[in-house]
Amino acid sequence: MSTRIVPDMSSSPALARYRAGPAPFALVTGATAGMGEAWAHALAAHGFNLLLHGRSPAKLAAVRDAVLASFPTRDVRLCVLDACALPPDARELEGGVAPLNLRIVVNNVGGSGGHFESVLEMPSQQLVDEITCNAVFPTLVAKVTLPKLRTGGPGLMLNISSIGGIWPSPYISVYSASKAFNRLFSMSLHGEELAEGTDVDVVCLAPGAVVNGRAMQGDGSAMTPLSSTWVVNAIAAISPRPWRQRPKPFIVPHPAHRYSVAFLRLLPNTLANSIFRSQMVALRDESRGVGKASRMSGGGNKSRTPTALGPKATQAEQQQVSTAAPAPALQNGPPAGAAGTQDTAAAPVQPRAATNEVMAG
C-alpha cells in the first residue's frame, strides 16, 4: 500500500457542518482499496475518526496504519463483514456504530463480478453476489446507521452509485441495474429525511471511470481521475455555498464526468442509449480480443465505431452514433478482469465477490 501525504484539513469549512459533538466518526464501507481507501484518508484529514469496513482484516489493518501514520490522534476502528453474504449479518455493524457519535456514512462498497457478460453467461452465484453487494448491503447499512445520523447534530449519508446507473449498460446489466437502485434509493431517502424534518443530508454520488489501483491502473487523466482526486472533487461538490448550506441529492462530482452526463442528457433517450450500447459492445469485444483480432487481420479496430452496435442496429441509429460524442466511461471503467487485452472468452468465467477491494462503488 503506497504512502500518502495528506494535508490536515480539520479547519476546512467543507465538512464543518458535520463535525458536531464530541469525537465525530465517519463510517466508510469497502475501505480497503480504491475510492473507499481514498475516503478514509480524506475524512481523517477533515477531522473525523473512522470506522472502516471491509472483508479482509489484513487489508483493513493496513489502511488503518496508513491513516494513523498521517493522523496519529485519530481513532480508527475496524468492522470486518462480508458485504456479499446473503442474508447479511448486521450484528458486527450494529455493534460497531452503537457507541459512536456517527456523523458521516460513506456507503461505498460495490462493484462488478469482473467480466463483460450477458445475464445468461453469468454464473448464478456471481449474479446474486453483485445484487447483494450493490443493493442489499447498502440498504442494510442505511437502515442501521440512519438512526445514529439523526441524533447529535447534522449527519451526512453518501451513497455511491455510477454513471452506469443512469443509462442501460449491456454486458454489465446487473451492475448497471443495481447502481440505478442505489441512485433511486438514495434520492428516495433524501425525500424521506426532508419530509421527516431531520438534519440528515442524503446524497447520491455518481462516478465515471476512476483509477482504483485494481481494475483500473494508471496515473490518472481528465476523464479517468485518481481515486484521491475524485474524492477531493466529491467533497468540494458537497461543500456549502453562499446560496445553499445543504448539498443537492444527486451529484456527478468530477468535472469531465459531469460534462459528459450533461451532454448525453441533451440527447434523445434512444440516441443516448445507442451510444452506451455501442460503448459496452466495444468494451466487451476488446476484453475478448475481438478488436485485437480485427487489427491483426487488417480490418482495423472497429470496436468503437457504429458497427459495434451489432446487426440489429438500424442504419439511422448507426449514423447518429457516428456523429455523437463518446459516452462517458462507466464507474471504474471495465469491470475487474475484463480490462486491456485479457481474453476472457478463452478462460472459464469464475464467480467473484463484488466488493470495493476490486472496484469502488
End-to-end CA distance of the chain: 20
End-of-domain residue from the set 261, 284, 305: 261
Report the range of poorest mean pLDDT among 251-265, 299-313, 320-334. Answer: 299-313
Q: What is the pLDDT of residues 272-308, one digit of tens each?
A: 999 989 988 998 998 888 754 443 333 333 323 222 2
Residues 285 and 256 in one domain: no
Percent of the chain scoring above 70 in pLDDT:
76
* Gap between the Cα atoms of 227 and 274, Å rounded: 29
Residues 225 and 123 in one domain: yes
Please check whether residue 330 is in contact with residue 163, taking contact to mean a CB–CB distance below 8 angstroms.
yes
Residue 339 lies in a domain: no
The residues annotated as belonging to the active site are 175
Residues 160 and 248 in one domain: yes
Residue 357 lies in a domain: no
Please check whether residue 346 is in contact with residue 193, taking contact to mean a CB–CB distance below 8 angstroms.
no
Residue 1 lies in a domain: no
Residues 27 and 167 in one domain: yes
- Going by pLDDT thresholds of 50, 70 and 90, the confidence category of residue 262 is very high
Q: Which domain CATH number covers 78?
A: 3.40.50.720
Residues 74 and 107 in one domain: yes
Domain count, the chain: 2
Residues 257 and 272 in one domain: no
Residues 58 and 173 in one domain: yes
Give, for 323, the enclosing helix (H) or strand (E). Answer: helix 315-323
Residues 79 and 170 in one domain: yes
Question: What is the extent of the structural domain holding 105?
Answer: 16-261
The yes-or-no verdict on residue 94 having pLDDT over 60 is yes
Residues 172 and 253 in one domain: yes
* Gap between the Cα atoms of 78 and 97, Å rounded: 11
